[in-house]
Structure formats: C-alpha cells, structure tokens
C-alpha cells in the first residue's frame, strides 16, 4: 500500500507553506494520516523543499515505526504529530511552521486574542498558548512531550473547532480533517497574528470581541445554522 | 436586462481587490448599483475569486430579492450593501474588505485620525468608527443592522465626501459613485491606515493635522476651488 | 530648445519612484532644472504614471511661466520646486514623494535622527523637519510658502550635504545635483526612515550616533578625505 | 594562482545577499579566505552589484596587500574582514550587510535576545552587540579597530558556534566555514531580528528562552548528540 494520493497531498501542503512565505529554509513540516491503514506520511528531516518528491516522504505507523520503502529519516517533530493523531479523533493532517507573526506570539508566551470578526470567522475564541515545558519534559522525549503539553492545554477545548496552538517559546502547530485544511489554517492564522500585532500596537488594551459578536461570526460560517457559502439553496 | 457592463465592472473591482492584496481567500466583496433599473450586482458568497465569471455574479433588487438568472447565493453581507444604497443617494458602488491595517484600526475601535496631508487629500476628516452593535442588533438581522449602525454614525457627515467607515471590531466598508471608485478608495485607505499605524508608533500623541491645512489639501483636490489635475485650462 | 535629454531624465526619475514603491497613484512628482537655459521640466498634475511620455512633461521658466509646447498643467507643487531651485545654488533636481516611512516621520513632526552609520553614510546629521506652516502661509500661495519654510529651516545647513527635508504634517522633499540623484536620495531616505522606525520601537530612547562616528562615516564617503569607491588609485 | 572557484563562490554570495533583500545599493560586502594560499577574495568598493564579474573581485593577502591582477580597490571594510580571519581559526567567509532588522538592533545598541526555539536552532545564546568604539579607535584605523572590538567582545564565546555580531551603532557582521555559510547566516539572522522585533513589541519584557530549552534545540541540530537531518542512519 503506497498511499500515493496522500503522499501527493502531503507534498503539495509542504510546498504550499513555502509558496505562501510561511516557511523559509527547512523551518516546518506537514504530515497526513490515513486512518483506514493507520499510516502517517511526513516530510523527511532537513531536506530542502525544492528537492522533495512524493517518494522522499517518510511513511510510519501511528507509533512512529518506519514502514518499508522509507529511505530517509522523518522530521524530528514526528512524535508531536503522532501524539496529536492519537489524541484528536478526526484529525488527519498536522502542520508545523515558524511563520513570523504566529511564532512571535508564541515567543511572547501570549495567546492570540480574538480581537475581531476576521478571527471569529475561523476560531470560536483565542488561539491558545501552552504552558512552558518543564525541564524534565524537555530532556526526555521532547517532541512527544510537546504533543502532550498541547493535548493537556486542549482539555475542555474541541480541537476540531480550534485547530491551532502556540507552543510556548517555540512556534505554532495546526491541524485539521486533512493536511490541506491544516495548511490553509496556517495561512489564516499568520494573517490573524499579523493583524493582532498591529491592533495591540495601536491600542495596547484593545478589547476582546464581545462573545455575542464572536459567536455570530463563527456560527454563520460553521455548524448547523451557518448561512455562508453555497451549501444552502439559493431561495430558502 | 442583463446589465453586462455593470457585471463586468463589479467583477473587475472584486478582482482588483485581490490583485492589490486587500483581500485574501474570500475575505471581501464588492457590488454595484444601477439606479435606473434599481438593480444590484454582487459577488456570490464564498466562491473563490479565481473562478468568478460575470455570469456568476448575483443580481437582486434593492430589497434583496434575487432576480431571474441568479444561480448562486449572494454574499452574506448583501443586506449591508443594500442599506447603504438605500440611505446614501449618489452611491453606486460598495466594497468590503478585511485589509490588514484598516481592519486593525477597526479592531482597536479607533477612528483613523487625519495625521497628514496624504489623508487630507482624500478625506476632510478622520475615517469614522461605528459604535459596537448591541447584542440585539447582532442577533437579529445582523448584516442589515451593520448598515444601520453605519448610517447612524454618518448623521451630519456627507457620505460622498467621507466614503469609508470602520465597523467596530469588524472591518472597513467603502463606497462611491461607482464600484471602481469604491475599490480605489479601499486601496487609498489601506495606505492611510498603514501610515497612521507607523506615525502613532513613532509618536503616540502625534497631533492631528491643523484644520486649515486639512481643508487646504482637501479643497485643492475637491470642490469648486480645486486646482489639482487637468480639469482647469492650462493658462487660467 | 526642447531639452530632450532632461525630459527623458525627468520622466525616468518619475517612473523610478513608482518602480521602487515610493509613489502610489499620483502621490509624487519630480522635476529637473537646466541652469544654462533657466528652464524647469516637471511632471504634469494628476496624470497617471503609466501614461506619461516625455512630451507630456511641462516646461516652465524659473518663475513658473509655461513655455511654448506645454499642453498640460504642471504639478500643483511646482512653486515649491521653483523656490528650491532659486534658493539652493547647485540643485538641478527636486523630488517629492509620500513614501510610507518618511511621510510617517513628517506626520509625527519629528526629524529622522541619525541613529547609525547607514544614515551617516549619506547625511551628516538628522533629516530636518520644518515648523508647521502658519494659517496665513497655508491660505496664501501655499506651495510657494512650503518652499520658503524649507529654505528658512535650512538656514545654517548646507542643502547639498543634507539633500532632504520633512515638511511638517505633509511629506518629504529631496533634491540634488540632478533629478536622478534626488530620486536616489528618496530611496535611501525611505530605508533610513524605516530603520529608524524599527530602532525607536525596539528602544524608545536609542542614542544618537556619537559625532565622531557620524563624521567618520560621512567623510569616508564624501569630501576631500573620502576613501570609498573607485575614485582613488588602487595603490595610494 | 587565480582561485577561480573561490572567486565564483564569493561573487555568488554577494549576489545572493542582494536577491534576498539583505543588501540595497552597495550596502554590504562578502569575502572568502583560502587558508592554503593565505589569500582573501573580496568585493571591490562601491561597484554596483549588477555589474560585478568574478574578475572584478579583489585579491589580497592576509595583511591586505593587493595581489597581481587586482585592478579595483577593495571594499573599505577589508581590514575588518582580515582581522576576523586572523583571529578566528576555521573561519573562511565573512559577510557584512546593513539589513533592516539586524541593523536596527545594532542601532539600538541591544543584543538580539534568544526569545524562541527558532533562534536556538541556530545560536546557543543571544547575538552579541559590541561596545561603542572609542573616539581614538574611530579616528585611527577605523575598519581594523572594528574587527578588534568584535574580537574582544568574543572573549569567552566560540565564534564558530555564534557566527554573528552586531557592531554598536553600525550593522551586523557574519562569518562561517565558508562565505556561502556566512551568507546563509545573514539571512537567518535577519529573520530572527525581525521576529525579535515583533515579539518585544507585543510584550516588552518577553522572557528569554529557558536555558534547558535553548540547549535542547541548539544541540539537536549541532554537535555529537544532534539528531536533525539525514546524517544518522534511518533506523538507529
């Protein structure tokens, strides 16, 4: 089983991150998960994007065991991806970038507040920041523990509605029903992070969007009462 | 009556917003109004810009009733556009974006102050910000009420001289004698918003432009005493 | 006398401002002065840059009288250019932009401080800001008075060594031995203004460059003791 | 001995700086050092990048004596490059830019703090800033003394692990095992400087990355215990 379509989708997501300016050099990675076969396809570690082919992508099982045909080492962040696939049912794509504005919020250790309807169109609240990892979490199975810190932070938060996190002092991770969705979210969040930077620079204590307006925007695009796009009949 | 030239102008305005970087994804919409026939042509909801054709645009009357030939749902912001056409005589084009700097001022809930002559060349004063919508306004006919809040804010302001507004916590709307004019104003305002951001970051209490200089610049480009451009004879 | 080479140089300088992103729409103008004939060639008012031809440029004498062959009205800022040519011997080119960062410093009413050697490589001190024009100066011969305010500000400053100014609340003017030089200075100053913005945002009270280091950099590129570039013999 | 490959590598590094937007006009220079022959190849002073050919590069010995075949004057910063080659064994390439964000930190006189893992992936600590040069250091052999101030600042710091410095009030210098490496570091540092600017603007007192996380990231990419990239076997 070669999962050719998934390999192609994962490759395309990795390349889209570069084209959109979210990744420079080898600062990022994207993976996809095929639930039926239990297989994960991920970018190899430290290989320049312009040389990547679908065959270079690394295939593992959900525990990170390399599967036949993989000739390169997987991204060193693989254990974080695996932790998210194991903990978040319905997630089939994970993306990690060091994009400039989202990473700056992560470095500041501050969640990206929901300051306007652009944000609320995509997220029902702030984009959370994790606590810092402990020295022990860093020194033992660092990448796996990065995933665990994210999972703990999402206790009580639906990861399918809030498909992004800032790892404290590090950078963002994104996920979604597919790796294409996760890469799209990466681009949206970078724009939200940039706007939030400008907003708090203009007014340090810019107010959070009122809950009622936040919910209005999130729900007009998401869920059973949504009325955005072309899914409803033209004349209801 | 197909209003083919208006459809083409509205399509071109929508695409210009994307080319100029004022709209990413489906974050925006532009419409045009043909006063003679009472018809409005607007972008469909949630359709990617690169797939839009003139025939995809949606045609309605001034109350929002879809007219024959429209096979797609209109932008969900249509009621805001209609409210502006109904209230502002002489306005035949409306544009909505989530462009980065203007939206950041809207998120900060702060009007864009008139800090220099670049601003005064286009606007006779600040670019107003609306009050926040009430919970009731949000929960009932939200998009129509967005228009009403704008209209109330413009009590005492000539909308043809100040063809832009920031909706609090949301983003800017622009309008004009044509949709082409409104799209041009969108680009100007984004530059003014960017400069105002830089200016107040350099000097938080940067003074407003004195009224006499503001009026000088506005009136040398607008109104009966203007002397900019090629409309006067070469030797007066 | 058609001054074809000067027309071509002035056209090229106007277009270079657009290509370098220093001018959007019709926000700027450049002129050249031929001292031998006493003639000035300037951009016409409000004509889009992509339509300009050398023949569209307007020719006047040093008092602003239109000369035969000019079919368009000159830039409304012509009197400012003329004032500078009359007062600053050796200046044969003037450029005016509303470029983003230099204009923001002008709007803040703050001179661009000499914060580093990049600045000192081009200017022997800060880039001055004028006082605000008085109401009377604005209401009578505004553009001519803009020039006068600049000239007064340069009392005691050598305009050939400091070839730029910020007009308070307005925007920068640049000049030089040729219009090509003035357009080059416009690009340098925009970069200096951008860096100064970043520097004072990092550290509000960033210290001015010590005089000795400022002079060292200015004088290694300018004047009799300069040793930059290829003007000296390879082995002194 | 013409060192053709080194000339080509040095030319390519100089051009890469321009392509990446790290150098505008003639604001920068790159050199390479061939330890076997004791020869240095450097950009000539003040020559526009688009006209440079490998033959235009200047060749000197480690004391700065021009070698046969050099017809242009070397970059005026040559003595700084020579000082670094003499003091830092293993360094075979030096790059100097006035790139916007790194230069702004230098102008602020503030080291670039290690605020996140993106930084720690490349540097084991902050990017140091030198003390200001004394008046005497500026007035006598300025460029050589610039190198000496860098070398003094690196007392106790391994220059091969921390291959960059901010010269106070001036701009950054970068170095490495090759000029290609030094130019790559220049691009990395500009991104780190930009992110650090955004981070401290969001949160003025953003905490330094904890030592244990800083070391984890630096050591997973550098040194004997590194496990990034494709140097280890696929199945350890």
| D158-210 per-position pLDDT tens digit | 999 999 999 999 999 999 999 999 999 999 999 999 999 999 999 999 989 99
Of A49, A121, A142, A215, the active-site residue reads A121
Instruction: Report which secondary-structure segment, H or E, holds C172.
Output: strand C172-176
* Location of structure tokens 């509605």: A161
* Angle, helices D142-153/D78-87, rounded to nearest 10 degrees: 30
- Nearest in space to B46 (alpha carbons), one of A17, A226, A20: A226
What residues in chain C have per-residue pLDDT under 50?
236
Let me know the angle formed at the C-alpha of C219 by C218 and C222, rounded to the nearest 5 degrees: 85
Whether residue D10 has pLDDT greater than 50: yes
pLDDT band at D228 (very low <50, low <70, confident <90, very high): confident
The residue annotated as part of the active site, out of C34, C121, C142, C215, is C121
User: What does the longest C-alpha to C-alpha distance in chain A come to?
Assistant: 60
Q: Note the maximum CA span of chain C.
A: 60
Evaluate if residue B120 carries a pLDDT over 80: yes
Task: Give the helix/strand (H/E) hosting C218.
Answer: helix C211-221
In this predicted structure, the answer to whether residue B95 has a pLDDT above a threshold of 60 is yes
Is residue D233 scored above 80 in pLDDT?
Answer: no
pLDDT digits (tens, 9 = 90+) for C35-93: 999 999 999 998 888 889 999 999 999 999 999 777 899 999 999 999 999 999 999 99
Q: Determine which of C188, C189, C195, C197 to mutate to test the interface with D (most D C-beta atoms within 10 Å).
A: C195
Residue pair C116/D170 in contact by the 8 Å Cβ criterion: yes
Annotated catalytic residue: which of B34, B49, B56, B121?
B121
Q: Which of C45, C66, C98 sits opposite B230 (nearest CB)?
A: C45
How would you class C117 by CB atoms within 10 Å of its CB: exposed for 0-12, middle for 13-18, buried for 19 or more? buried
Q: Nearest C-alpha of chain D: how many angstroms from A6?
A: 22
* CA–CA distance, D6 with C16 (Å, rounded to integer): 35
Nearest by Cα to B217 from C170, C25, C134, C28 = C170
Instruction: Kindly identify which residue of chain D lies nearest to residue A138, measuring between CA atoms.
Output: D213
Question: Is the torsion defined by CA of B64, B70, B75, B81 positive or negative?
Answer: negative
Q: In a mutagenesis test of the A interface, which of D114, D116, D204 is the best target, namely the one with the most A β-carbons within 10 Å?
A: D116
| Average pLDDT in chain B | 94
pLDDT reported for residue C235:
53
- Is the pTM here over 0.80, yes or no? yes
Give the contacts of A99 (CB within 8 A, at least 6 positions apart): A21, A22, A23, A28, A171, A172, A186, A189, A190, A193
Burial environment of residue C6 by CB neighbours within 10 A (0 to 12, 13 to 18, 19 or more): buried
Mean pLDDT of A28-52: 93
* Whether C213 and D105 lie within 8 Å, measured CB to CB: no
Distance from the Cα of C58 to chain B's closest Cα (Å) equals 10
The tokens describing D120, both together, are 């720690």
**C-D Cβ pairs (cutoff 8 Å, strict):** 86
Q: Do D108 and C220 touch (CB under 8 A)?
A: no
Token output for D185: 């570091």
Is D41 in contact with D12 (CB distance < 8 Å)?
Answer: no
**Could you give the CA distance from residue B102 to residue A193 in angstroms, rounded to a whole number?**
15
Q: Is the pLDDT of residue A73 over 70?
A: yes
Say how far apart CA D45 and CA D29 lie, in whole Å: 9
User: What's the pLDDT at D1?
Assistant: 62
Angstrom distance (rounded) from CA B63 to CA B79: 8
Whole-number Å distance between alpha carbons of B86 and B84: 5
How many CB atoms are located within 10 Å of the residue A45 CB? 21
- For residue A65, the chain D residues in CB contact (below 8 A) are none
Query: ∠ at Cα A171 (A165, A174), nearest 5°?
Result: 40
What residues form DSSP beta bridges with D103? Answer: none
With cut-offs at 50, 70 and 90, classify the pLDDT of residue B1.
low
Mean pLDDT for the stretch of residues A187-194: 98
**CB–CB contact A138 D213 (8 Å):** yes
- D162-D165-D166 Cα angle (round to 5): 155
HEC string for D92-130:
CEEEEECCHHHHHHHHHCCCECCCCHHHHCCCCCCECEC
Distance from C-alpha of D84 to C-alpha of B230, rounded to nearest angstrom: 60
Collect all residues with Cβ–Cβ distance below 8 Å to A40 and sequence separation of at least 6. Answer: A31, A32, A33, A34, A59, A60, A61, A62, A78, A81, A82, A85
Q: State residue B71's pLDDT score.
A: 85
| 3-state SS assignment for residue D145 | helix
Q: Return the minimum-mean-pLDDT range out of A106-120, A134-148, A217-231, D112-126.
A: A217-231
Contact (Cβ atoms closer than 8 angstroms) between residue C88 and residue C159: yes
* pLDDT tens per residue across span D38-89: 999 999 998 888 889 999 999 999 999 999 777 899 999 999 999 999 999 9
Q: What are phi and psi of C61, to 5 degrees?
A: -90, -175
**What does residue B56 show for φ and ψ, rounded to 5 degrees?**
-75, -20
Distance from CA of D74 to the nearest CA of C (A): 8
pLDDT value for D50: 85
CB contact under 8 A, A118 and B76: no
Phi, psi at B143, each rounded to 5°: -70, -40
Inter-residue contact D98 to D23 (CB < 8 Å):
yes
Q: Please list the residues that pair with A129 across neighbouring strands.
A: A166
**What's the pLDDT score for residue D24?**
81
pLDDT band at A50 (very low <50, low <70, confident <90, very high): confident
Q: Which residues pair with B59 in a beta bridge?
A: B41
Helices (H), C29-128: 78-87, 100-108, 117-120
Catalytic-residue membership of A121: yes
In the three-class reduction of DSSP (H, G, I as helix; E, B as strand; rest coil), residue B85 is classed as helix
Question: Which strand ranges, in their side-by-side order, compose the sheet holding A164-166?
Answer: A58-61, A39-42, A28-34, A93-97, A172-176, A164-166
Write out chain D residues lying below 8 Å of A72, CB-based: 230, 234
Average pLDDT, chain A: 94
DSSP C223: S
Q: A236 pLDDT exceeds 50?
A: no
Nearest to B22 by CA among B199, B198, B191: B191
Distance from C-alpha of B222 to C-alpha of B158, rounded to nearest angstrom: 13
Residue A158 known to be catalytic: no
Tell me the chain D residues in contact with residue A66 when contact means C-beta distances shorter than 8 Å: 234-235
A189 pLDDT higher than 60: yes
Cα B181 to Cα B16, B30, B128, C23, D143, distances in angstroms:
12, 11, 19, 19, 55
**How is residue C21 annotated by DSSP?**
T
Q: What is the dihedral of CA D45, D47, D50, D53, to 10 degrees?
A: -70
Task: Write out the DSSP string of chain A.
Answer: ---HHHHHHHHHHHHHHHHTTS--TT-EEEEEEETTTTEEEEPBTT--GGG--GGGSEEEETT-PBPTT--SPBPTTHHHHHHHHHHSTT--EEEEE--HHHHHHHHHT--B---SHHHHTT-SS-B-BPPPPPHHHHHSSHHHHHHHHHHHHTTTS-TTTS-EEE-TTS-EEEEESSHHHHHHHHHHHHHHHHHHHHHHHH-TTPPPPPHHHHHHHHHHHSSTT---SSSS-S--
């Amino acid at each position: 089983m070669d999962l050719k379509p998934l390999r192609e989708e994962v490759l395309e997501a990795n390349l889209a991150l570069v084209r959109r300016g979210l990744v420079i050099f080898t600062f990022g990675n994207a993976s996809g998960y095929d639930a039926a076969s239990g297989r994960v396809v991920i970018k190899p570690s430290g290989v320049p994007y312009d040389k990547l082919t679908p065959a270079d992508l690394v295939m593992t099982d959900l525990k990170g065991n390399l599967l036949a045909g993989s000739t390169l080492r997987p991204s060193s962040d693989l254990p974080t991806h695996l932790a998210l696939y194991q903990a978040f049912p319905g997630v089939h794509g994970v993306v990690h970038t060091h994009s400039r504005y989202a990473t700056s919020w992560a470095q500041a250790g501050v969640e990206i507040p929901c300051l306007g309807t652009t944000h609320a169109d995509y997220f029902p609240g702030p984009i959370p920041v994790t606590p810092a990892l402990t020295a022990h979490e860093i020194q033992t199975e660092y990448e796996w523990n990065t995933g665990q810190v994210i999972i703990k932070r999402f206790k009580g938060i639906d990861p399918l509605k809030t498909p992004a996190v800032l790892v404290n002092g590090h950078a963002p991770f994104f996920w979604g029903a597919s790796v294409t969705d996760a890469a799209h979210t990466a681009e949206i969040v970078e724009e939200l992070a940039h706007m939030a930077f400008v907003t708090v620079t203009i007014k340090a204590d810019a107010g959070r969007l009122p809950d009622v307006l936040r919910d209005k925007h999130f729900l007009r695009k998401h869920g059973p009462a949504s009325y955005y796009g072309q899914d409803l009949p033209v004349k209801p």
